[in-house]
């Protein structure tokens, strides 16, 4: 590859002296690569940028008389904002600030969670909204 022909495969912008990503032997500027190949956040629908480092974290959550296991994968990403993380849960992706409890709208992060068809809930909100208490606990 010569510098005279070193352009983004998608937008044709010059990549000389710029950061780029090579995919299938084709160069892409970071912006185009993120637009074309990145996962998109389930909440805000914005791309989850490249340059992430995966850190698997397993999380167990317990509701009253119920136990559920879930797997969350965090992605540390320097492109979104300094120290921001990317979340993957059940094959879907979120920015850390978009991965929130369906009821209280607070970020779930790595806290225990319970997932229902209607969304993901932090344990306190799930217990308030859905848990059935035994006659002793009422």
Report the CATH number at residue 109: 2.10.110.10
Please give the Cα distance from 45 to 112 (Å, whole number). Answer: 24
Per the document, the length of the chain is 138
Looking at the structure, do residues 32 and 58 belong to the same domain, yes or no? Answer: no
Looking at the structure, do residues 75 and 119 belong to the same domain, yes or no? Answer: yes
Looking at the structure, do residues 77 and 101 belong to the same domain, yes or no? Answer: yes
Looking at the structure, do residues 57 and 117 belong to the same domain, yes or no? Answer: yes
Looking at the structure, do residues 25 and 63 belong to the same domain, yes or no? Answer: no
Looking at the structure, do residues 18 and 70 belong to the same domain, yes or no? Answer: no
pLDDT, tens digit (0-9, with 9 covering 90-100), for 86-132 = 888 888 888 888 899 999 999 998 889 999 888 899 999 999 998 88
Can you give the pLDDT at residue 81? 52
Looking at the structure, do residues 21 and 79 belong to the same domain, yes or no? Answer: no
Can you give the pLDDT at residue 84? 64
pLDDT-derived band at 51, boundaries 50, 70, 90: low
Q: Give how many domains the chain has, as a whole number.
A: 2
Residues 95 and 43: beta-carbon distance below 8 Å:
yes
Average the pLDDT over 57-86 and give the result.
41
Please give the Cα distance from 52 to 28 (Å, whole number). Answer: 17
Looking at the structure, do residues 33 and 99 belong to the same domain, yes or no? Answer: no
Looking at the domain assignment, is residue 43 inside a domain? no
Residue-range definition of the domain harbouring residue 82: 53-129
Nearest to 30 by CA among 40, 39, 21, 22: 21
Looking at the structure, do residues 30 and 64 belong to the same domain, yes or no? Answer: no
pLDDT, tens digit (0-9, with 9 covering 90-100), for 8-29 = 999 999 999 998 888 999 999 9
Bridge partner list, 95: 86
């Amino acid at each position: 590859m010569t510098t005279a022909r070193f352009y983004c495969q998608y937008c044709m912008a010059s990549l000389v002296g710029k950061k780029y990503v090579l995919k299938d032997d084709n160069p892409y500027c970071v912006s185009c690569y993120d637009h074309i190949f990145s996962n998109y956040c389930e909440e805000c629908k914005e791309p989850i940028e490249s340059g992430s480092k995966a850190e698997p974290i397993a999380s167990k959550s317990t509701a009253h008389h119920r136990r559920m296991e879930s797997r969350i994968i965090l992605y540390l990403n320097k492109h979104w904002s300094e120290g921001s993380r990317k979340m993957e849960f059940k094959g879907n992706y979120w920015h850390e600030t978009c991965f929130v409890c369906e009821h209280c709208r607070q970020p779930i992060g790595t806290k225990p969670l319970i997932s229902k068809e209607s969304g993901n809930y932090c344990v306190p909100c799930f217990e308030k909204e859905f848990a059935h208490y035994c006659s002793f606990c009422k």
